[in-house]
Structure 1
Amino acid sequence: MGTESPFSAEPDHLCVLVHGLWGNPKHLAYVHDTLRDAFPPSRLHILNCARNVGAFTYDGIELGGERVAHEIEETLAALASEGRPIRKLSVVGYSLGGLVARYAIGLLYHQGWFAEGKLEPINFVTFASPHLGVRTPLKGWHNQVWNVVGARTLSMSGRQLFLIDEFRDTGKPLLEVLAQKEGVFMEALGRFKRRSLYTNILNDRSAVYYTTAITKTDPFVGLHDLNFSYLKGYEPNLIDASKPITLKAEEQSVPLWEWITTRARRAIHAIPLIAFFTLILPLATVFFLLNSGYQTVKSGQRIRLHESGQTGIQTRLYKVPLLVRNVRRAAEEVYENMNSAQAEEYLEEEHATDSQTTRAGHEDGGSGQANGKEKNKVKAPYAEFPTLALTAGQFEMIRALDELGWEKYPVYIHKVHHTHAAIIVRMPKPRFDEGKVVVGHFVGAFDI
């Protein structure tokens, strides 16, 4: 599902949809169709990007962003040639697509598309996008091994997501460059009238809460110990982050027999999961690693062809020197050895400064005032929710991104354990129906 054909009647607003890792345009079909139901072709043109399908998402955020930028420019040119010039731009990214989209809008900004009289950036929205990468901030040898091995199973995209790449000669990982102040990527992001994100609080196995919410804490770890409120009309799936999240008062101890019964029931329910990990997972892991090795080789070949200009995209148009202004070399070492990274689950309390205090993932006014509006703003004491053991670069990303101002919507999907797919109704399955509530909120807040 690429660009709609024939082109919409006379829209002045283009909305670009960017799918995620291993994805394709069909993954965003429900988002597309819900937008179309709300906004007829005479008001909104929708481009569901189709140049980064499947294994092409291994090729990295930079190459993926160039493909998306090229696809957007082709669409703008085609519409203009039909006498239907676009005046407004909105971008929606899902999962890895949110990062690819952030790169693409930086390229468009550099190409002059956001200059006065051209495109007015309106909505920038991400669903379950790992803005801080996917490095696991947990203690334990298995997590540290995953931070090393996982980075090498997805070619360039894996290195960038685990923050062990070095972008050009900046000495920094690409994700840090994307969030660098005074760079074209942040300049572009700051031009949008609205920036919002939807983040799963539970069971997102692909992109966990701290990174999709751009936050130093995860208050939802002890979900059953919390008091929180829902957004009116979107219960019980969208949490109202403008209201405090508090710990429940300690309950009286349960009777021994009830405790034993509960534990036994949990053990019985865990049997299928144990069988999966002992019998199926080892074989699946072998096949995954073999396929990852093959795809990494193929991805490297595609990257080399792209860099040599043999893929139909004039890469020199997008190769602005470093694509950032006032870039200085990083003082830190390159993140090649993830075993030397901080291994604690949480930082010691004395290392958490006032600028790191948060609740429900809202940092330093990051959900505060922006564009003259009060956003989904929350302030709270640090003590209840300690700071995760992130890298220095990730803390800098949080501070820079939150200064732009975001509307942040924590999503609580109850019925499935694959919330990464459910949040956008990635497949037309009844068990993903809770995602329809989320997409409905997104469309209702969409500024046309």
Structure 2
Amino acid sequence: MGEEAATKPGSADHLVVLVHGLWGNPKHLEYVASSLREKYAEDKAYVLVAARNSGSFTYDGIELGGERVTQEVEETIEELERGGQKITKLSFMGYSLGGLVARYAVGLLYNRGWFEKLEPVNFTTFATPHLGVRTPLVGYHNHLWNVLGARMLSMSGRQLFLTDKFRDTGRPLLSVLADPDSIFIRALSRFRNRSLYANIVNDRSAVYYTTSISKTDPFVKPDAIKINYVPGYDDIIVDAKNPVSPRDEEALYQRLYGGGRNFIRRMPFFAFICIFLPVALTVFSVTSVVQTARSKQRIKLHEAGKLGIKTGMYRIPLMIQDVRQTTEDIYENVANTHDQEYLPDDSIEAMGQESPLLSKSNREQEKLANGDSPAHTLEFPTLALTSDQFAMVQALDDVGFEKHPVHIHNVNHSHAAIIVRMPVERFYEGKVVIRHWLERFEI
């Protein structure tokens, strides 16, 4: 049985599964797990921190990771039942890549009949790249970075950059994962509550458009807008119903002036990056080659049934209808050097015309995100996403997520801070985020 965050078997009937991200391990979720334990007694929630995808095992892809988590969940439920503890409710929390692994796992659990035995209650992701990590680029930039980046992380890299062909579908796994006819969307729709938390700035691993499932990014130039916050959360949780407003000229000048001073203060850091990055990138590339080779070998052994999971148990039909018809910091720093690009204003997606890629719910949410008001209208260009990504936006918005933009101010690594990935004081803003989540968590 996986790490259960020190929660001993008892009378709890609600299993809460936590799934860590790329390069991660269960320790990354210690604060989340301990916060759950503090809020809910042993007779309320049993916390399982999935442990079988730790470290370099996250290179092996979302499919294999999802199968490992599914097996871990099934074994946990069965072991608890042998001890007299009956699980009747199920919740998932996924961080970063773990959110995608969780979406895959719940599809498998749904297909294997568990949702007839368990009530799906909460499904939440934190900083999860639902649309992949491909930087919205056009022209040759797309091939130079997005194709190259996909080769650095074995199967997980290809899936995150949407360059894979999943099984016999001929489509990227993330596209299949968001297909309206798939077991994955069917499973997701069964949860009573679905929510996501997305960093609006300084997330070098997964930027806002993908973690918030959006075709626009209102926060690309935060100094040029007024960000509105939910009262009581230290200007960290952004008001999703009215996230941004026009900024008055005096405040804009002050922000820009302050930004100039911040840039001067950070010049030594930028100089260090210029010297260090080339060497570190070489080391990272060599490490990636080694880990990719090891990952390919593990995948082969898994396919042969030699890693403890009988492949046939989970290789069920993926769709309700035939799908054929229808060194982390270095990587983050490199990815962060690529600016997002946009579609021409006269494109179908940018004009907001009726299209099978766009849903009514998505358009309404983006209208709110654009800060529309009788006096002012803030308009943001449509990002240069792929057709698969536009389809993902529609499908996931049609299922429906309660979206919570997060503004972490005091660190330039908000991806780690959002869940307090390490017990360091500078990540204190993440504690506010976790408090906000727990106050909405249904037991």
The answer to whether the superposition gives a TM-score over 0.5 is yes
Deviation at 1:171, TM superposition (A): 1.1
Higher relative helix content: 2
What is the Cα-based RMSD across aligned positions, in Å?
Answer: 2.8
CA-CA distance at 1:366 after TM superposition: 5.0
Corresponding residue for 1:96?
97
Aligned to 1:292: 288
Letter paired with 1:11: A
SS of the residue corresponding to residue 163 of structure 2 reads coil
- Alignment partners' CA distance in 2, 1:155 and 1:378: 35
CA distance in 2, matches of 1:11, 1:253: 52
- The answer to whether the Cα contact below 8 Å between 1:365 and 1:377 also exists between their aligned partners in 2 is no
How far apart, CA to CA, are the structure 1 residues paired with 2:214 and 2:244? Answer: 15
Percent identity for Structure 1 against Structure 2: 54
1:354 positional shift = 3.0
8 Å CA contact 1:366–1:401 kept in 2: the answer is no
> 1:134 and 1:238 mapped to 2: Cα distance?
23
2:190 corresponding residue in structure 1 = 191
State the alpha-carbon separation in 2 of the partners of residues 346 and 128 from structure 1.
Answer: 22
2:341 corresponds to which of 340, 345, 348: 345
C-alpha displacement at 1:417, in angstroms?
0.3
Letter of the 1:405 partner, please give it.
Answer: G
Number of residue pairs aligned between Structure 1 and Structure 2: 421
**Counterpart amino acid of residue 67 in structure 1:** R
Q: Tell me the equivalent position of 1:200.
A: 199
CA contact (8 A) 1:356 1:364 kept: no
Within 2, Cα distance between the matches of 1:87 and 1:264?
Answer: 55
Task: Provide the rounded CA distance (Å) in 1 between the counterparts of 2:11 and 2:159.
Answer: 39
**Is the CA contact (8 Å cut-off) linking 1:3 and 1:75 kept in structure 2?**
no
Deviation at 1:53, TM superposition (A): 0.2
Who is 1:27 aligned against? Answer: 28
The answer as to 2:430 corresponding to 1:416 is: no
Asked whether the equivalents of residues 215 and 363 of structure 1 are also in contact (C-alpha less than 8 Å), the reply is: no
| Correspondence for 2:166 | 167
In the other structure, the counterpart of 2:439 is 444
Q: Which residue of 1 aligns with 2:315?
A: 319
Query: Equivalent residue for 2:60?
Result: 59
What does 1:21-420 align with in structure 2 at a 5 Å threshold? 21-115=22-116, 118-138=117-137, 144-243=143-242, 245-250=244-249, 265=261, 268-329=264-325, 345-351=341-347, 352-354=350-352, 364-365=360-361, 384-420=379-415
d(CA) in 1 for partners of 2:54, 2:17: 15
d(CA) in 2 for partners of 1:72, 1:25 = 15
When residues 28 and 363 of structure 1 are mapped into structure 2, their CA distance, relative to the original with a 3 A threshold, is farther
The AA in structure 1 aligned to 2:408 is: I
What's the TM-score once normalised by structure 2's chain length? 0.89
Question: Does structure 1 conserve the Cα–Cα contact (< 8 Å) formed by 2:135 and 2:340?
Answer: no
In 2, the alpha carbon distance for the partners of 1:9 and 1:367 equals 46
Offset at residue 405 of structure 1 (A) = 1.1
Post-superposition Cα deviations, 1:404-424, rounded to whole Å, max 9, x if no partner, equal 111000000000001000000
Q: Is the 8 A contact 1:171 1:329 kept in 2?
A: no
Give the Cα–Cα distance (whole angstroms) in 1 for the partners of residues 36 and 150 of structure 2. 35
SS in 2 for 1:295: helix
Distance in structure 2 (CA, Å) of the matches to 1:393 and 1:444: 34
SS at match of 1:92: strand
- Identify unmatched segments of 5+ residues in structure 1: 331-342, 370-375
Tell which deviates more after alignment, 32-41 or 246-255: 246-255
From the superposition, tell whether residues 300 and 225 of structure 1 become closer, same or farther in structure 2 (CA, over 3 Å).
same
The equivalent of 1:333 in structure 2 is none
Query: How far 1:6 moved relative to its partner?
Result: 6.9
Alpha-carbon deviation of 1:209? 0.3
CA distance in 2, matches of 1:355, 1:179: 22
TM-score by length of 1: 0.88
Q: 1:363, CA displacement in angstroms? A: 7.1
> 2-side partners of 1:216 and 1:81: how far apart?
47
Q: Structure 2, unaligned stretches of length 5 or more?
A: 327-338
Superposed CA deviations along residues 32-57 of structure 1, whole A, max 9, x for unmatched, are 00010000111100000000000000
